[in-house]
Amino acid sequence: MRASLSAMPTSLALLVEVDESAWASLYSTKSFPFAPPSTGKIAVKVINHYGDEVLKVYEISDGQKKA
């Protein structure tokens, strides 16, 4: 049987090691390169510093310039 999160001691939830260099690489305005998906579509999600989110789906083709 699984214990609920509320039943877990707080000290267990705080024992996490964070790789600072990996975290820093995510804090960027540039995307990591990826292969075009077979669906021909990508989704771009933007979250501003207020926490507002916008998601837009773009259709891509093989001939489009890679950023």
The answer to whether 57 touches 41, Cβ cutoff 8 Å, is yes
Provide the pLDDT for residue 16. 74
23 three-state secondary structure: helix
Task: Determine contact, residues 59/40, Cβ cutoff 8 Å.
Answer: yes
What confidence score (pLDDT) does residue 11 get?
A: 56
50, amino acid identity: Y
Which pLDDT tens digits describe the chain residue by residue (67 residues)?
455 656 666 555 666 788 888 888 877 777 788 898 999 999 999 888 899 999 999 999 865 555 5
pTM attached to this predicted model: 0.48
Q: Can you list the positions of beta strands (E) in the chain?
A: 41-47, 53-59
